[in-house]
Amino acid sequence: MLFEGKVIASVFCENEDLSGASFDGSTIYEVTFDHCNLLKCTFRGALIKKIKFIQCGEGASFDDEPLVDENSEVTIVRTDGAGHEVYLGAEITKVAKEFGGRSVPRVKPPKDIPKQAIAIIFSSLFKADKHRLDYPEKHKIENRLRAWLSNFSLDQSQVRDLLQAFSRGLGDLKDQGWICLNPNRPRTFVPCADRRSEIGQIMRIGKVDAHLAALAKVVNVLQEACDKIVT
């Protein structure tokens, strides 16, 4: 099956043997590979717009730095019950390495994981350019957090427990006026207008730092929960 140089959109592939197929030079948008064999499948020079891999295993070949744009999004599901991981923009490079069978080392979770998690929650409100709003629902924010947690040496139960703690933290951020429900899109979240500048600063730093006093209560509650999960 050859898909080279084509626009491939709104396609759902389930239990397909696509081993050796070439998507080189194609544009891929709203494509799902569900339990497909992608061994030696190539995506060289392909523009990845929006793609989902559900338990497809390793063996596909991507560029060292896949071709993406400011709207690119890759979702992966590794195993049954593992949940979705959502990667944007440059983060897609990590996924491409894994699908190619290259080792991506996991590191020990940082001691200030709550401060970084809050920055991830805030960045989840935006597209990859960190300027345009993405209007995510709660589950997408959780999927972005799950993708971030995949960088660390955590077992599945720890990931589950951390996500539950972060979900409570999301509620606290909403209660304290940092994140608001979008009145125009039910169930979606946006930065509260009077906090958008501060949220932008936190995203650029990558963690809560100068704004610790304003977020101390949220951070402290999260830190206590995380310390019980990650020892």
CATH number of the domain enclosing 72: 2.160.20.80
Residues 133 and 83 in one domain: no
Domain holding 47, by residue range, is 7-99
- Residues 23-36, mean pLDDT to the nearest whole number: 96
HSE toward the beta carbon, residue 11, CA cutoff 13 A: 15
Beta-ladder partners of 31: 11, 51
Contact present, 168 and 175 (Cβ < 8 Å): no
Residues 118 and 224 in one domain: yes
Residues 132 and 200 in one domain: yes
DSSP SS3 for 162: helix
Q: How many domains does the chain have?
A: 2
DSSP SS3 for 152: strand
Amino acid 176: pLDDT: 95
Q: Which of these three, 37, 72, 99, is where a domain ends? A: 99
Model-level pTM?
Answer: 0.91
Q: Does 177 fall in a domain?
A: yes
The residue length of the chain stands at: 231
Instruction: Report residue 147's pLDDT band, with 50, 70 and 90 as the boundaries.
Output: very high
Q: Is the pLDDT of residue 210 over 90?
A: no
Amino acid 1: pLDDT: 55
Q: Does 30 fall in a domain?
A: yes
Q: How far apart are CA 31 and CA 34, in angstroms?
A: 10
Q: Which of these three, 59, 75, 99, is where a domain ends? A: 99
Tally of CB atoms within 10 A around 119 = 20
Spatial CA neighbour of 85 closest among 5, 156, 2, 23: 156
Q: How far apart are CA 99 and CA 165, in angstroms?
A: 29
Amino acid 34: pLDDT: 97
Q: Does 105 fall in a domain?
A: no
Q: Does 71 fall in a domain?
A: yes
Q: Does 106 fall in a domain?
A: no
Residues 156 and 224 in one domain: yes
Counting DSSP H helices and E strands in the chain, the numbers are 6, 7
Alpha carbon separation from 85 to 131, 147, 182 (Å, rounded)? 22, 4, 23
Q: Is the pLDDT of residue 104 over 80?
A: no
Residues 159 and 124 in one domain: yes
SS3 content of the chain, % helix, strand, coil (to 5): 35, 25, 40
Q: Does 2 fall in a domain?
A: no
Q: Which of these three, 47, 73, 99, is where a domain ends? A: 99
Residues 121 and 222 in one domain: yes
Q: Is the pLDDT of residue 65 over 60?
A: yes
Residues 78 and 132 in one domain: no
Range list of H helices, the chain: 92-99, 113-123, 138-149, 156-175, 196-205, 212-229
Residues 78 and 136 in one domain: no
Q: How far apart are CA 25 and CA 40, in angstroms?
A: 16
Radius of gyration of the chain (CA): 18
Q: Does 73 fall in a domain?
A: yes
Contact present, 51 and 28 (Cβ < 8 Å): yes
Amino acid 99: pLDDT: 80
Locus of tokens 């599945």: 156
Residues 149 and 77 in one domain: no
Residues 220 and 119 in one domain: yes
